[in-house]
Chains A and B, each alone.
Chain A
Amino acid sequence: MEELRETYITPVVPLDFTYNYRVGQYMERFLNSLKDKKLMGVKCPECGKVFVPPRMFCGSCNQKLDEWVEVAQTGMLANFTVGHVVLEKGARLAKAESPYVLGLIKLDDVDSLLLARVEKVAPADLKKGMRMKAVWKEELAGDYSDLDHFEPA
């Protein structure tokens, strides 16, 4: 007898999932400050670390964070990668149109790193420890895309 091959169908899901994520008061203040080209963080009263973007808790100290600080927009490149792929809708892996650079920026006086796109530097010239500065969009919308990228300072 012929071996059974199980058939499957792949219809397009007609359901549209809509989510409304409340950002909470910490992220709201961060977003609002983007409109003024400011980067805001919170400082832990116990370990003194400054976190950007801000959040409610320092996990290792079990402390609620409420001391706000405006942080510098310059720092150094702590880590980088050159992306050759992107995740498209449905997290499908696809080839990027052209390679692009992502960096983890260690802002001066901040203890967490900030993940951002890095521009105006050739991949071959990327070096850990390079000085970087924030570059803003010309027209600010009060969302995360306001802080456009980092580039060598």
Chain B
Amino acid sequence: MRNVGIIGVGYTPVFVSKRRDVNIAEMISEAVDAAFRNTGLGPEDIDAMVFGNMQTFEGLNLPHLWASEHIRALGKPIMRIATGGTTGMSALHAGYYHVASGLHDVVMVITYEKQSEGDSQVGLAGIITPEIMTMLSLGIDLTGGTGMGGLGGGSAGGVSFQANSYLNRSGATIEHIDKMAALERRNAALNPYAHLKDPDATPEKIAQTPLIAYPIRFGHVCPTTDGATVAILACEKKAAKLADKVAWINGLANCASDATTGNLIEGLITDPGEQRPCMIAAKKAYEMAGIEDPQKEIDMAEIYNGFAHQCLMFMDRLFLCGEREAHVLLDKGELEITGRIPVNPSGGVVSTNAIGTSALNRVTECALQIMDKIEGGHKVQKDVHNAVAHGWGGLMQYVTVTVLGDKPRKR
């Protein structure tokens, strides 16, 4: 198998709630330009492209077609990938296979979301449109106390079941979620590409934000963001020629469980915090990367957390700590940028969520840490040799994992 590395990253200059000054295609072009600027490459160096976002958010089908000129894709093979919240990482994985297959040497992965142009809650509810329709036609009231309206994919209603389940199994408390959210908002304040920043965030401040559905508070929830992210991938030979530093994609995997309505309800009632697909994918990715003891060998993690509790929940699902340990590490300060296992130094999805980019940003942030190319103050204190990036989405049942390293695997 060919080794594949990330040789460059490009972001839009800012990730904010409303980019009023540019249209969708123009906004994406900024990240493409940035990737070219950061690597010194041009469109002629790119063999193929992968493009991803969640199209129902903007109500724009196959946006890569209209954006063809803005993303400099004319005459190039381009593949569109969309898997919901994980889209960014699924697109990265597709980019990886473009290169690993031997068919292409240098591939650009482009993701974006301009959430200000659509309605995100409608977009999310759209996951279960047929179910909502069925319920309505059967006379089930979705607005009242049945709680059925809360079933929508990433909506706070559905996720509150998960958070409760996690607190119950781990022994963590709502105060730990407050603490995690505060940590990430502080990290975000150091990151020029983060959206919700608060250098003075404290658990107490987060605890004062309104409760949405116990234990989810307003302060635990991701914003909706406009932004685009680009990553350039290359084979070993090209990487040596084109880049001074490379973050190698040493392991990757994904896993889906079931989402049909009956099981979904069962899942929510039983254990939406179980997240078995995450464990399956993580095991596979570590094995591929030759990581035997993630707790020892992984130096930092970027975890997809639309909601603050998920960072803690997925830590043990990624085998970065024991099952009842994540909040203990949090209390000890080990998850901080200065800590032993920094988690989401970027500020995480809780601070910045342009959905199509969110899972890719987990990877690019790990890559920039490994390449020592972090702009801003969120560079972790320790050397990063191996890092794990995680994506979560689908209907709370789909997980992607990428393990990155400063050296390629030996074959």
Q: Do chains A and B touch in the complex (CB under 8 A)?
A: yes
Please list the residues of chain A having a beta carbon within 8 angstroms of any beta carbon in chain B: 9, 11, 13-27, 55-60, 62
Q: How far is the CA of A57 from the CA of B117 in the complex (A)?
A: 22
A54: min CB distance to chain B, Å: 12
Known: A23-B23, A58-B69. A13 touches B129 (CB 8 A): yes
Candidates A18, A23, A24, A55; contact of B119 at CB < 8 Å:
A18
> Which residues of A sit under 8 angstroms from B116, Cβ to Cβ?
20, 22
Task: Tell me whether A9 and B134 are in contact (CB under 8 A).
Answer: yes
Name the prevailing secondary structure of the A interface residues: loop
Task: Tell me whether A22 and B20 are in contact (CB under 8 A).
Answer: yes
| B59: Cβ under 8 A from any A Cβ | yes
Q: How far is the CA of A22 from the CA of B115 in the complex (A)?
A: 11
Point out which of A9, A13, A59 has the most chain B C-beta atoms below 10 A from its C-beta.
Answer: A59
Task: Tell me whether A56 and B29 are in contact (CB under 8 A).
Answer: yes
Known: A17-B59, A17-B119, A56-B26. A25 touches B21 (CB 8 A): yes
Interface 1/0 per residue, B111-130 and A, CB below 8 Å:
00010111100100110010
Task: Tell me whether B19 and A22 are in contact (CB under 8 A).
Answer: yes
B53: min CB distance to chain A, Å: 14
Point out which of A13, A26, A60 has the most chain B C-beta atoms below 10 A from its C-beta.
Answer: A13
New A-B pairs, 6, CB < 8 Å, besides A24-B21, A25-B21, A25-B22: A22-B117, A24-B26, A55-B25, A58-B69, A59-B72, A59-B74
- Residue of B with least CB distance to A58: B69
Known: A22-B19, A55-B69, A59-B68. A11 touches B137 (CB 8 A): yes
Q: How far is the CA of A55 from the CA of B24 in the complex (A)?
A: 12
> Which residues of A sit under 8 angstroms from B129, Cβ to Cβ?
13, 15
> Which residues of A sit under 8 angstroms from B58, Cβ to Cβ?
19, 21
Task: Tell me whether B122 and A15 are in contact (CB under 8 A).
Answer: yes
